[in-house]
Amino acid sequence: MLERDDFARRFKEGLPVGIHEFFYPLMQGYDSVILKSDVEVGGTDQKFNLLMGRVLQKEYGLEPQVALMMPILEGLDGTRKMSKSLGNYIGIDESGREMYGKTMSIPDTLITRYFELVTPVPLEELRSIAAKLAGGSLHPRDVKMRLAYEIVSFYHDQETAQRAKEEFKRVFQQHELPYEIPEFEISPDMLENGSIWLPRLMLLAGLVPSTSEGRRLIQQGAVKIDGLKVEEPAYTLIPAGGMIVQSGRRKFVKLKVN
C-alpha cells in the first residue's frame, strides 16, 4: 500500500493515513477478483486502485486485468475536474441549447483538449486547428462554436446542434430573447400582499438552486426582468403575465399569472 506516492510521503513525514484510505483501493481491487475482470476502465486518477486489482488477482491465482485509463476532463472552470457536485459540468442528458451554451463558456485554453477528449474530430485536423489558434488565424470564439456544434451533434443530432447554434447567436450576439422560453405559473399562495421576493421566485422557477445563489446573482448584476437589470437583493416583484425573468446568460422564464 505504501507504494502509493501520497501514502509513502505522508508516512515518511509522520502524517496520518486513515484506515478508510487503505480500505478503498483494497475493496475496489477485490471487486476485480470477484468479477474476474479482464479489463477495468477508469480515469488516470484511479491508477493506483486499478493496479491494486491486478495485485489482488495475482494473489488469487487469476490473470491480471488490463487497466485502461482515460485522461481527466477539466470542468467549465478550467481548473478542477468536471464534476456534477462541483457544478462545473456539461450533462450528457441536457438540452442541446444548454449543452451548446455551456461549451461556449469554457476557457479558451481548453478548446483543443475538449476537441481531443469528447469529439470524433480526427487528430490531424485538431493539430491544424491548434496551430491556427496559436498563430491567430482562427478566432477562439469561432473554434469554440465548432466545438459546441460537434458536442451537441454527438449527444443529440445535427439538427439540434444547428438550432442550438442559431439560438446562441440570437441571444448572445444579437441580444434577443430565445425562441422558446419555458413558462412558470405563479399561484396565489406564492404571493404576499400581491408580490414575491425575487430570489424566492428564482428558486421556485428553477433558475437557481437556492435563494442565496439568487441574491448573489442579483448582486453581480446577472438578473434581469423584461431586459432591465435588478441590483437590489431585497427586491420584491409584482408579477404580471408575460413578464420575462432572466438569470445569468442562459436561463429564462416567462411568468404566467392565474
pLDDT over 90 at 219, yes or no: yes
Mean pLDDT of all residues belonging to the chain: 92
pLDDT tens by residue, 105-152: 999 999 999 999 999 999 999 999 999 999 999 999 999 999 999 999
State the fold for domain 96-173.
Answer: Tyrosyl-Transfer RNA Synthetase (1.10.240)
Identify whether the C-beta of residue 90 lies closer than 8 Å to the C-beta of residue 99: yes
> Count of CB atoms within 10 A of residue 157's CB?
11
Q: What is the pTM of this model?
A: 0.71
pLDDT at position 11: 65
DSSP per-residue letters across 168-215: HIIIIIS----S---EEEEPGGG-BTTBEEHHHHHHHTTS-SSHHHHH
Q: E strands of the chain, at which residues? A: 39-43, 66-70, 183-186, 196-197, 223-225, 228-229, 236-237, 244-247, 251-257
The residue extents of the domains of the chain are 5-70, 96-173, 183-257
Residue type, 73: L
Q: What is the mean pLDDT of residues 15-29?
A: 82
| DSSP 8-state code for residue 171 | I
Q: Which CATH number fits domain 183-257: 3.60.110.10, 3.40.109.10, 3.10.290.10, 3.40.50.1970?
A: 3.10.290.10
Cα separations in angstroms, 66 against 8, 62, 172: 25, 12, 46
- Does the fold of domain 183-257 match that of domain 96-173? no
pLDDT over 80 at 17, yes or no: no
pLDDT tens by residue, 149-186: 999 999 999 999 999 999 999 888 888 888 888 999 99
pLDDT at position 208: 93
